[in-house]
Chains A and B, each alone.
Chain A
């Protein structure tokens, strides 16, 4: 599914909070259809990096390019770029006052300015994609964690994004529910969706990722295809991290 076309370019991103330099120059390219998985110790800037990509956090310096257009310094046009960059959060951030259908519809109506019928049709299709056809009229508080996360994936998908950012999408779910969410993500990867994923689910990461990027102290310190992790020199530090992870 992966093509040579570079869809997203992250170039020398720096970000500091006061004295705390969280990102110290992060760069990488993402090809269309690719799945990249970010791993690394807590507090190394993985979430900050994802938020810098869609400018929910504004980096101090560096550039983000989406299909060759600069996303950093976009001004009000950022709202157009954000439609193309979906985001799925650890704690879902569903709109609690709207039904499942409403959650998926709202941006179609308000941002894409679709009419009611179009939006509804599209939203129902996305809900079906993530297996929530029977929960269309349920409110977020009435859903299980796994259903809630699948709903938030449907909400992101409805915008027809070029790339989706996942920030620890299963970290607040128990194993049973984690499985159903990962299943949806696996299918997205198979269908050629471009995805950047921060996760601790190593089994999933190894089987789905085209590339694993190990971050530490605000830098990408090691990266490569998952098959190289067990043996390659490129992944010495990563192996150490994963080893300590299992104890």
Chain B
């Protein structure tokens, strides 16, 4: 059985939009997670007590529930209840985004609190305000330190995204399944789907690894640290 059977060749054009949808979900979710995660982390570290508790509760909920439960909750419950009738794709992207935001905020929080106190002291001693010190001294370093952990969210999201099949998002797995229903070659098609996930996963990781290398601070973290 050649992998390049006619079935594979015929199904590729049909799978391609699924690839786009899957990558769309992942990239939108990563973006939502980033845009929410950094402020959440800052509030968690520097915010007032009540604000900290709000963030903690958010993280607690979104890290505590299975993705599928979250998807159903938002798809059948929260969004309809709010009178928001948006497509399954956007609901899925938002739910994945909210979830990764919880994880990302923890990654960024860890990176922020790992910055030595002396950085804040030095910045303040030069006359910077607290927010200037955070913005110009703490965050640029914390974000670099967070990068390896952050890019790790990509393979997690990519593999998790196939769950969106359950609410009918036409992502890669959904489309594969539709082909199987028509041509009855499950083995061939699912091996193909698996291969595509593997390629998306590791080529994406390769790209992120290059980004990480680009933002490394010369000499930093090599041998003895200061």
Q: Which residues of A are in contact with B by a Cβ distance under 8 Å?
A: 54, 56, 76, 79-80, 82-83, 85-87, 89, 91-97, 106-107, 110-111, 138-142, 145, 148, 152, 155-156, 159
Contacts and interface: CB of A to CB of B under 8 A. Distances in A.
A141 B220 contact: yes
Contacts of A80: 127
Given A80-B127, A159-B126, A139 B116 contact: no
Given A91-B226, A96-B217, A96-B220, A111 B126 contact: yes
22 contacts: A54-B125, A80-B127, A85-B125, A87-B121, A87-B122, A93-B116, A93-B121, A94-B226, A95-B122, A95-B137, A95-B141, A97-B217, A110-B128, A111-B126, A139-B217, A141-B225, A141-B226, A142-B219, A148-B226, A155-B122, A155-B126, A159-B127
B132 interface: yes
Nearest to A140: B226
Nearest to A82: B127
Contacts of A106: 126, 136-137
Contacts of A96: 119, 141, 217, 220, 226
Contact of A56 (B124, B141, B225): B124
Contacts of A92: 226
Nearest to B220: A141
Contacts of B220: 96-97, 139, 141
Contact of A107 (B126, B218, B219): B126
Contacts of B66: none
In the A-B complex, list the 5 residue pairs whose CB atoms are closest, starting with the nearest: A141-B219, A93-B118, A83-B127, A93-B122, A107-B126
A107 B121 contact: no
Contacts of A97: 140-141, 144, 217, 220
A111 B125 contact: no
A106 B141 CA distance: 14
Contacts of A155: 122, 126
Contacts of B137: 95, 106
Which among B124, B140, B222 has the greatest number of chain A C-beta atoms within 10 A? B124
A138 B116 CA distance: 21
Contacts of A93: 116, 118-119, 121-122
A123 to B, nearest CB: 13
A191 to B, nearest CB: 21
Contacts of A156: 125-126
A94 B122 contact: yes
Contact of A79 (B127, B217, B221, B225): B127
A107 B124 CA distance: 10
B144 A111 contact: no
A3 B164 CA distance: 76
B122 A111 contact: no
Nearest to A99: B218
A46 to B, nearest CB: 16
A89 B132 contact: no
A71 to B, nearest CB: 12
A145 B225 CA distance: 11
A85 B226 CA distance: 25
A87 B119 CA distance: 12
Contacts of B123: 95, 107
Contacts of B127: 79-80, 82-83, 107, 111, 159
B129 interface: yes
Nearest to B142: A97
Contact of B122 (A79, A85, A89, A139): A89
A83 B126 contact: yes
Nearest to A111: B127
A197 to B, nearest CB: 15
A66 to B, nearest CB: 13
Contacts of A76: 129
Contacts of B125: 54, 56, 82, 85-87, 156
